[in-house]
Structure 1
Amino acid sequence: MIKYSMIVMGLVASIWSCSSSSEKRMNPEIALPFYSDVNFTPEWIEAGDAKYDSIHTIKNFSFVNQKGDTITNETFDGKIYVTNFFFTICPNVCPRMTKNLKKIQAEFASDESVKILSHTVMPWVDSVGRLAEYAQLNDIDVNQWQLVTGDKSSLYDMARNAYFADEGFGKTVTTDEDFLHTENIMLIDANRRIRGVYNGTLPLEMKRMIEDIYTLKKE
C-alpha cells in the first residue's frame, strides 16, 4: 500500500511539473525560447531580465539571390524568417528540406511578415543562374523565398557563427574538404534572434514550425 501511494504521489508531482512548465511556455512574453549557443540550449528570458540584452543576434550579411539582387539583413528588418543551408545538386536531404519548406511558403503565401532564406553551401557550383533554375523547378516564389549565394567564407561564417549550423553532415562530398551542411532549419524573429530549431527533413517538424511562427506573430 505504501509503495502504491508513493507511485501515485510521483505521478501527481510529474503532472504538476509538466503543467507548470506548460504554463510558463504559454506566457505571451516568453512563449518561445531563445537560442544563443552552438548546443541550441533553450532559454526563456523575459524582457526585463538582465540577460535579455545579451541574447544572441544574427549579424549583418550581404549575399546575392536567384534574380541577381543583393539581399542583406535589412531585407528582413521587422520580419520573421526561417533559414537553412543547402546545395542544388544535393541528392537526398536538400530535396526533402525544400519540399518541407514549401509548406511554409504555402502557409504564409500572402503574409509579408514571414519570409524564407536559403543559403547555398556550394557557391562554386550554385551561381545565380543555377539558383534561378532551382527556384523555377521547385516553384519558389522570389517575393517570399530568397535563395542566396556569395563568397564561400562569408556563407560559412554565417552558418557557423550566426546560425550555429555545422553538424558535420555531408562529409562524403569530395568537391571541397571544408564542406558544411546541416538538416536544421532555424526560426528567426523580427529582432534577428533564434527562436526555434527544427529537423528540416521531417514534415511533422514543419507543422511545429508553423505553430511557432503564429506564436511569434503574437509577440
Structure 2
Amino acid sequence: MKLIIKMKAVFFFLFCILSFSCTKEIDKSKTLPFYNSEDFTPEWISKTAANYNRIHKVAPFKFTNQNGKIVSNKHFEGKIYVADFFFTTCPSICPILAKNMSKLQEEYKNDKDILLLSHSVMPWVDSLEKIKKYAIENNVIDNKWHLVTGDRDEIYNIARTSYFADEDFKKTKDENEFIHTENFVLIDTKGRIRGVYNGTLALDIKRLKRHIEILKQEY
C-alpha cells in the first residue's frame, strides 16, 4: 500500500512539472507574436503548442526583380525579411515607404540574414525598365532589397491572402480593388508574419528595428 501511495505521489509530482512547463507563460517582452488572420490579432504560440505547426505562412511565390532575375520564396528561406507594396508612379505614400526602406537597407546592409522585398501593385505599368530606374533612384543594393513585378493576379493574391496587406479587401471582397497600403510586414526565417508596422511613421520604423533584433535572438 505504501509503495502504491509513493508511486501516486511521484506521478502527481511529474504531472505538476509537465503541466507547469506546458502552461508556463511566454515572456512577451522577449518574444514576438504570430499573425494568423487578416485582423492582425497577435498570438503568442509556444513551440510545444498543438497548433505551432499550423501557424500561417506566406505562400510560395515567384516574381521578377529589378535586374530581371527570378526571385522566389526559396530565396528568403532562413532569412528575416521586410515586405511592402508600392508602385513607381505613386506620388503620396510610396516615396516615404521607399525612404524608410532605404534606412532599413542602410541599417542592415552588412547583415546577410536580413532582406527587403517590395512588390509593385501596378505591374501592368511597372516594366523592368521602370523598376530598375526606381531602384537606381532609391540606391537599392542588389541582393539586399528586391523590387519585384509580375502577374497582377499573383501579386494581389499573395498580398491579400499571405501578407493580409489589403485592408479594403477585408470589407468589400472586391478582387478588382486597387491595393494601396502603408504596411511593412516582418517575416521570420520560416515565412511567418511576426509584425506589422506603418511604414510612413518614424516611430514604427524604430519599433520594427527593435523587433528585428528580438527576432534574431530566436535563431
TM-score (norm 1): 0.83
Aligned residues: 189
**Does the CA-based 8 Å contact 1:66-1:131 persist in structure 2?**
yes
Deviations for 1:106-161, whole angstroms, at most 9, x for unmatched residues? 11010000000000000011111100000001111122000000000000000000
Question: What are structure 2's unaligned runs of at least 5 residues?
Answer: 1-24, 170-175
Q: Return the offset for 1:178.
A: 3.0
Query: What secondary structure does 2:28 align onto?
Result: helix
Please name the residue that 2:117 is paired with. 117
Amino acid across the alignment from 2:187: I
**Does the CA-based 8 Å contact 1:186-1:194 persist in structure 2?**
yes
Q: Return the offset for 1:186.
A: 0.2
Q: Return the offset for 1:167.
A: 2.2
Deviations for 1:66-104, whole angstroms, at most 9, x for unmatched residues? 000000000101000000000000001000111111111
Question: What are structure 1's unaligned runs of at least 5 residues?
Answer: 1-21, 170-176
Please name the residue that 1:72 is paired with. 72
Please name the residue that 1:162 is paired with. 162
Question: Identity of paired residues, percent?
Answer: 50
Once residues 211 and 178 of structure 1 are traced to their aligned partners in structure 2, the CA distance between those partners, rounded to angstroms, is 33
Given the superposition, is the C-alpha separation of residues 150 and 188 from structure 1 closer, same or farther in structure 2, using an over 3 Å criterion?
same
Q: Look at both structures and tell me which one has the larger radius of gyration over its CA atoms.
A: 2
- Between 1:50-59 and 1:40-49, the stretch displaced more is 50-59
1:9-158, aligned counterparts within 5 Å? 24-27=27-30, 31-158=31-158
Query: What secondary structure does 2:67 align onto?
Result: coil
Query: What secondary structure does 1:64 align onto?
Result: strand
Q: Return the offset for 1:36.
A: 0.5
Query: 4+ runs of 1 displaced by more than 2 Å?
Result: none
Once residues 186 and 59 of structure 1 are traced to their aligned partners in structure 2, the CA distance between those partners, rounded to angstroms, is 14
Once residues 103 and 214 of structure 1 are traced to their aligned partners in structure 2, the CA distance between those partners, rounded to angstroms, is 16
